[in-house]
Each structure stands twice: as C-alpha cells, then as structure tokens.
A and B are shown apart, each in its own frame.
Chain A
Amino acid sequence: MIPGSFDYVSAQSLPEAIALLGQYGDDAKILAGGHSLIPLLRYRLAAPAVLIDINRIDGLAYMQETDGMLHIGALTREADLDRSPLIRNRYPILYDTARNIADPVVRNWATVGGNLAHADPANDHPATMLALGASVVAEGPAGPRVIPIDEFFTDVTFETTLQPGEILTEIRIPAPTERSGGAYLKLERKVGDYAIAGVAAYVQLDANGLVTSAGIGLTNVGPAPIKARAAEQALLGKPLDEQSIRAAADLAEAASQPTSDTRGPAEYKRAMVHTLCTRALRKAAERAQGGAA
C-alpha cells in the first residue's frame, strides 16, 4: 500500500510550522511520530496535499515539573515517558498508559501530542488525561492558548477543538498532591492492539481518606474519549471502599457507549468497563495511600 502523492515540508521551527499551516490550511497535516497518520495515508483514508514534518523542531520534546505542573512537550516520544524515572515514580498512571501504547518499537517514534491530537477514542492517553484533569497548549498565529482537556475533545470521532492553524505544543498535568494516586488499565487482545476497553482513574484523598477529587476516563467504548462525570461525582466525600467503588463502576459502565465489533459484543465491553473501573479505583486508592507504585 502506497500513499497518494503529497508535498512534504520539514519545518525547522514552530513559527515556520504555524506559518505553513496558515498557508496550506485544511490541505495540510502535521507529521509527528506518524504511527497513526502514515497508516491512514496508506489506506488512503486521508489524502492531505501537504505534510508538515515537525520532527526536526528543537525544544518540543521534554518532561519537566515546574510551578506545580508537569509539562510534557508534544513531541515527547512514548518511549521517553516509559523510561523516565520522574514519570515512573511521580506519575504511575502515565507510566501505566505509556507501557500500554502499541509496542516498544512503535513507542520509539509515537508522540504524546500525536496520541491526543489524533483524537482517536481508541488511543490511550485521552482517557488518562481526562482522569488527570490535564490541559493542552495550542499555538497558532495569535499565540498560545491553554485548553482544558475536557474541552479539547468533542463528541465526534477524530475531532478536536484545535483551530485551523493551531498546533498542539504541550500537555500540562497538575503535580501529584499528598494522598493522590491513579492507575490506567487496558484490556487488549494482544500487544499492539487497540483496547477492548480501557479505564483511567485518578483520586485525591483528604487526611481522613475521603475523596476530594476524582477523575475517570474511558478508552474505546464510544465515538470519542469519555469522561465519566457521574461516576466521578459519586465518589466525592466518600471513602474509597468496596461500596463507593462499586457505585462508581456502575456509573462508569452506564457512561460507556460501546458498539459490537471484532473485539467483542457491546454487552461484554460494558461489563469490562465495570471490572476495569473497579480495579483501577482500587489501585488508585492503594497508590494514594502510599502503597505499591
């Protein structure tokens, strides 16, 4: 399978990439890791006239904690997340997620920004970022703006609220507080496959062990990444015990909208959302209470 013809430009700087996007508009696509885009081109499901390669732009790949935030450059490779002691020790939910994306060779090129900007409900980072209450930075001709992640995805598959001419440049995640923890669990048929279902859960507890904030995101059980708001709300003010976890899992299952396909019937996927949500919340609780990472 050979993609259709296109022009190719390797941008050397962010302003150049933004100017090129302005010049070509909807005819252009950004090429980062390419592991979603290139297969789409090969199947001819996408046929952009121009590819703007951002891989040579310096300063878009980094992970640093400043001002109570973890800043991840959009061009950071999944393999870098996977190998980072900072991520492993401080953000185990992100480590869980990176380890579950595609396979180790794909992760050498696949980027965190691309995983989000592609807005595929089957991608793994969206659910985790929804659970963490992350935000993304978009840079366009008018400068940068910050978009909360739950306003970044729409209800439409592959659609984001990025404006024409804007590039996703950074992901921001609130630094962990005392007694906070999260986990991402993915059920997959084999390494490298999309999830049958995936659940990300993140909780913050007070000194008495009561939930002060909760985030739950669902992977590949609807047309877009799903934030299970009712399940999050139900946990507030409660201890994370079997009763509250079950109630939240019931609501997360109700929020899922899977369809039947080769990965299983919808009924099975809904049941898996329940099971994964239960397990993810238990693990999040364990981590929040300083248990095993």
Chain B
Amino acid sequence: MSKHTIHVTINGTAYEDTVEARTLLVHWLRDGLRLTGTHIGCDTSSCGACTILVDGKATKSCTMFAVQADGRELMTVEGLEQNGQLHPLQEGFHEKHALQCGYCTPGMMMTGLALLQSNPNPTEEEIRVGISGNLCRCTGYVNIVKAIQYAGEKMREAQQSPVAAGEGGGE
C-alpha cells in the first residue's frame, strides 16, 4: 500500500492531502473534502452522476484515482455558482424544470458545461449525444436538453455583449 501527497486545485482553491493510491477521486472529494455535490450512482462509469471537470475535460470521477489528479485543476458542481449568482446551467435547470429527483443533476450540469465550452451552440442532437453517458432514472431528458439549450443561449449572450461593445475599437 502506498500513500501519496497530492496537490490539486478544485474550484479555484488549492488543496494538499495525503491519499492512499487506491482512493478513488470521487471518494476523496466526498469523504475527504466533504464536497458532496458530486454524486455516486452506479460506481462503474456507466451513469455519469459523478461527472466533474478535470483540466476542463468531463470526467467520471468514480473511474480515476485521487492520486491521478495530482497537479491538475478540477471543477465540481460547487464551482458553478459565483458570488451568489447561479451559473446559467443552474438557472436553466431551474427555469426548465430539468430535475425531478435531482440525483443525476450535478453530473448532467458538468457534462453540459464541458459540452457548451467546446460547442457553444449545439444542436439538440449534439446535446443528446453529448449527455448520452449520463443517465436520468426519472427519464426527464426533454427538459434537461432544454436547460442546456437555455444555458447555451445565456452563455453566448454573455460572451457576445463585451465583444459587441468592443467592435467599434477594432482595426
């Protein structure tokens, strides 16, 4: 058995800890750091409830060891809200009634975030493919898709307004 000291940045905060090699990332987040927004569903990388961002990539945190996160930057669902302001994804899930039991929601939002960051204006089909590794046992996919579309629109607007304001100063 080996123990390892790791340095990981999570939602902008630097953490140092000593973990057993076999400690799974999701267990470290939840039990070690008490960041319990990330859920454990199937435990075998099928359901996506544990999805977080690792260096910007959507990642099932049940299928990575905490020691592998050393030196990496993580974002969990707790990192969405900024200064008391809901993230457009959180707002979208609220507005579009995209959660019933809420268990899959953190994973859905993090997968949705990674999707919108790489593809700011996805088609419905692209969203459906994008979240195909995240299961909603309430089967509420229609509103989840709408919530991600809503968030995409909000995020594009936020992106565009400073650009539009700066256009006059170009070239």
Residues of chain A within 8 A (CB-CB) of B94 are: none
User: Which A residues, 190 to 244, have Cβ-Cβ distances below 8 Å to chain B?
Assistant: 191-192
Q: Is B21 part of the contact surface with A, judged by Cβ < 8 Å?
A: yes
A 229-285 contacts with B by CB, 8 A: none
**B21/A39 in contact, CB under 8 A:** no
Contact B59 A108 (CB under 8 A): yes
A129 located at the interface, meaning its Cβ lies under 8 Å from any Cβ of chain B in the complex: no
A7 touches B1 (CB 8 A): yes
The residue on B at minimum CB distance from A103 is B133
Q: Is the pair A104, B130 in contact by a Cβ cutoff of 8 Å?
A: yes
Shortest C-beta distance, A262 to chain B (Å), equals: 14
Contact with A along B8-44 (1 / 0, CB 8 A): 0000000000001110100100000000000000011
- Tell me if A105 counts as interface (CB < 8 A to partner B): yes
In the assembled complex, the Cα of A105 lies from the Cα of B68 at a distance in Å of 17
| Chain B residue contacts of A1, Cβ below 8 A | 43-44
Q: Which residue of B lies closest to A51 (CB)?
A: B21
Interface contact B22-A3, CB-CB below 8 Å:
yes
Q: Which of B20, B59, B68, B129 has the most CB of A within 10 A?
A: B68
How far in angstroms is the closest Cβ of chain B from A267?
28
Nearest-Cβ distance from residue A175 to partner chain B, whole angstroms: 29
Report yes or no: A104 in contact with B133, Cβ–Cβ below 8 A: yes
Residues of A near B59 (CB, < 8 A) are 105, 108-109
Q: Which of B2, B43, B111 contacts A42 (CB 8 A)?
A: B43
Expressed in whole angstroms, the minimum distance between the Cβ of A11 and any Cβ of chain B is 13
Distance (whole angstroms) from the CB of A103 to the closest CB of chain B = 3
Known contacts A109-B59, A192-B133; 6 further A-B pairs (Cβ under 8 A)? A1-B44, A8-B4, A38-B24, A79-B57, A103-B132, A109-B57
A-B interface, 10 closest residue pairs, ranked by CB to CB distance from nearest: A103-B133, A8-B21, A5-B1, A105-B133, A191-B132, A7-B2, A108-B57, A3-B22, A105-B58, A38-B63
Measured CB to CB, the residues of B under 8 A from A are 1-2, 4, 20-22, 24, 27, 43-46, 48, 51, 57-60, 63-65, 67-68, 70, 111, 129-130, 132-134
A-B CB contact pairs (8 Å), 22 listed: A1-B44, A3-B24, A5-B1, A5-B21, A5-B22, A6-B2, A7-B2, A7-B21, A8-B2, A8-B4, A8-B21, A8-B65, A10-B67, A31-B68, A34-B63, A104-B111, A104-B133, A105-B48, A105-B59, A106-B63, A108-B59, A109-B59
